Amino acid sequence: MAGFSPSTYAALVGLLKDTLSGIGAIQGEPGRSPEFRQTTTHIQWRYVGDTAWLNLVPLNALLGPQGESPQFRMNGNWLQYRFTTQPPTAWTDIHNFPSIGASNDFANAIKKEVSGNPIRLDDVQPNTTLTTMVVNGLTTQIGTGVKSPDNPFELVGANASILHVTGRNLISLGNISKYRYENGTLNTQNDKIIGKDFEWYIRFDDTKAIPGQTYIFSCANVITTAPNLGSVRFNDYETSDYTTSVTLNSQFKAILQVPSQYKNPVLMYYRGGVGGIPYDFELYKPQLEIGNASNPYKTFIGESYPINLTEPLYSLPNGVRDTFAVVTGVLMRSIGVKVFDGTEYISQNTPNNYHIFYYSLPNIKFLNSVLTSGNSSHFNNTTNLTVAGNMTLGYFSRSVFFVFAQETNPGEVKGWFKSQYDDGNPVTIVYELESPQVINLTPLIIPAYAPTTIAQIDQSDMSLIYNRDLEIIINKLMYAITQLGGTVDV
């Protein structure tokens, strides 16, 4: 990229911030990636997962009435274009971007924050580590019908236990074994698996896969004495459950999904003998990737990192979450959890209001006549204290107020709390803390893999910051501009 000044680099990088990969790109929403296409009339964009395409730039405007070539520049915050036959001052605005600023902003522009699970990065700077890796809390309410004291829901936090950070290929040929039968031999040679007189399954013992995701298995070639190319499936180590096998097609590929309830999914390749007859086979360059599209083979590279937390991570409806920053080792608990067992000191609201009771929560975030965000297993969080089954968190004081239908004194309420606890359905509330609890655990250095890094976690989601390869970013922009027949004004 010789000949480009630092300010031009900054402009081009700013244009592609937030994974924006097309000319006239839109400033992305956090955690969402845009995609682009060209129709016969427009350059269009949409967020991945959305249905409707939105017009971004009309092609007739870009090409001009006589087909003149467009020229593009960054002018302050604006991406602009003009035609080479127009006057030098005839620039037209396309889109406004946040300020790129001076050298410090330029340096930050080659870092990027991404959220989700899994996360795929395709422009990673070589020989770098992840700047930030944060595991986020998530509260899931499990139940059916309408939640009430008689129909409680279970509040489940995220028990994230393993983080995988790898290159594009998610299986290692250094960690394979036989499954079910020991007949025959199984060996690896370079990027090839060789089986002789083999029965049943190859087990990829260190599969980097997570529940609920779709994957594609592919090979460069399969040579076998068997009548078909074999099949793949996922087994769950913890439950011994397994998915339906998918036979490799003529391109040596198969798409399969890990069920969401699996705890420890492991990929299996079936090359057993039909009717007890063993077969020979050679499996060339086996690869497992996220999604349903295969790419050229890459040797496995990566690590798994245990997430050793003693308690789950929770989230609240207002977006507040517990977080664990893996790189720094900082655990931030912003959410309190109270499980009632009937031993609590319960107060009655007033003698004339027999069915409203409250319990003090000293560290609850008190907003003074504003409802504090939270959830309960048995009660609905609202300011309306006229309906049984409702509760109010932090509205009047640093307390939770409950509305009961029948109980008329604190002793009856405590007895009901104890009965729920003894029955295995304890009344549980999660709420925002006034002062989050900070716990310092062991920090980790997590390498990133160029150019593609895959990050996956077994529960909830995560956010990370990484160093981007500037050359890849600019090449994307230059390609987009040249596809439109344009040039860059330096």
Can you give the pLDDT at residue 475? 64
Of 265, 300, 335, the last residue of a domain is: 300
* pLDDT, tens digit, 9 for 90 and up, residues 369-386: 999 999 999 999 999 998
Six-digit token pair at 168? 């594009």
Give the separation between CA 475 and CA 21, rounded to whole angstroms: 10
Can you give the pLDDT at residue 233? 96
- Indicate the Cα dihedral angle 96, 6, 489, 121, nearest 10°: -60
Can you give the pLDDT at residue 337? 97
In this structure, are 173 and 287 located in the same domain? yes
Six-digit token pair at 183? 């007949």
DSSP 8-49: HHHHHHHHTTTT--STTPPPPPTT--EEEEE-SSEEEEEETT
Give the separation between CA 405 and CA 384, rounded to whole angstroms: 14
- Across the chain, how many H-helices and E-strands are there? 5, 37
In this structure, are 293 and 361 located in the same domain? no
Of the candidates 177, 180, 207, 220, the one whose C-alpha atom is nearest the C-alpha of residue 195 is: 177
Assess if residue 449 is contained within a domain: no
In this structure, are 85 and 153 located in the same domain? no
Q: Quick count: other Cβ atoms within 10 Å of Cβ 76? A: 10
DSSP 74-135: EETTEEEEEETTS-TT--EEEEE-----SHHHHHHHTEEEEEESSEEES-BPTT-B-SEEEE
Six-digit token pair at 7? 């300010």
Can you give the pLDDT at residue 390? 95
Assess if residue 38 is contained within a domain: yes
In this structure, are 61 and 76 located in the same domain? yes
- Indicate the Cα dihedral angle 412, 414, 416, 417, nearest 10°: 170
Give the separation between CA 285 and CA 219, rounded to whole angstroms: 5
- Per the listing, tokens 């999904």 go with 257
Give the separation between CA 359 and CA 426, rounded to whole angstroms: 15
Domain that holds residue 474: 6-110+469-488
Can you give the pLDDT at residue 10? 41
Assess if residue 448 is contained within a domain: no
Of 300, 324, 351, the last residue of a domain is: 300
Of the candidates 335, 164, 330, 123, the one whose C-alpha atom is nearest the C-alpha of residue 258 is: 164
Give the separation between CA 468 and CA 477, rounded to whole angstroms: 14
Can you give the pLDDT at residue 32? 53
- Per the listing, tokens 């302050």 go with 76
Cis peptide before 118 (omega within 30 of 0): yes
Can you give the pLDDT at residue 301? 96
In this structure, are 318 and 406 located in the same domain? yes
In this structure, are 149 and 185 located in the same domain? no
Largest CA distance in the chain: 87
Can you give the pLDDT at residue 326? 97
Total domain count for the chain? 3
Assess if residue 457 is contained within a domain: no
Cis peptide before 451 (omega within 30 of 0): yes
pLDDT in tens, the chain (490 residues): 233 333 433 443 444 343 333 333 333 444 455 566 667 676 676 766 778 877 766 655 555 555 566 666 667 666 677 777 778 888 877 655 443 333 333 333 467 889 999 999 998 988 999 999 999 999 999 999 999 999 999 999 999 999 999 999 999 998 999 887 777 888 999 899 998 888 788 999 989 999 999 999 999 999 988 888 999 999 998 888 999 999 999 999 999 999 999 988 999 998 765 556 788 889 999 999 999 999 999 999 999 999 999 999 999 999 999 999 999 999 999 999 999 999 999 999 875 566 899 999 999 999 999 999 999 999 999 999 989 999 999 999 999 999 999 888 999 999 999 999 999 999 999 999 999 999 999 999 999 999 999 999 999 999 999 988 766 765 665 565 555 444 544 4
Assess if residue 456 is contained within a domain: no
In this structure, are 106 and 187 located in the same domain? no
Of the candidates 4, 17, 1, the one whose C-alpha atom is nearest the C-alpha of residue 109 is: 17
Can you give the pLDDT at residue 50? 78
Six-digit token pair at 332? 């931030």
Spell out a b/e string for 473-490, using b for 16 or more CB atoms within 10 Å of the CB, else e: bbebbeebbeebebebbe
In this structure, are 181 and 293 located in the same domain? yes
Six-digit token pair at 373? 């965000």
Six-digit token pair at 469? 């390869």
Assess if residue 351 is contained within a domain: yes
Contact 293, 266 (CB under 8 A): no
In this structure, are 432 and 345 located in the same domain? yes
Return phi, psi of residue 79, to 5°.
Answer: -80, 125
Return phi, psi of residue 428, to 5°.
Answer: -125, 135
In this structure, are 79 and 20 located in the same domain? yes
Give the separation between CA 191 and CA 194, rounded to whole angstroms: 10
Q: Are strands 253-257 and 154-156 parallel, antiparallel or unpaired?
A: unpaired
Output the domain CATH number for residue 224. 2.60.120.260
In this structure, are 356 and 479 located in the same domain? no
Of 268, 300, 332, the last residue of a domain is: 300
Of the candidates 193, 173, 218, 174, the one whose C-alpha atom is nearest the C-alpha of residue 271 is: 193
Q: Which residues contact 107 (CB under 8 A, 6 or more apart)?
A: none
Element (H, E) at 480: helix 470-483
Q: What angle do CA 308, 310, 313 make, to 5 degrees?
A: 90
Assess if residue 411 is contained within a domain: yes
Can you give the pLDDT at residue 70? 63
Give the separation between CA 415 and CA 417, rounded to whole angstroms: 5
In this structure, are 285 and 178 located in the same domain? yes
Neighbouring-strand partners of residue 233: 268
Assess if residue 393 is contained within a domain: yes
Return phi, psi of residue 292, to 5°.
Answer: -125, 20
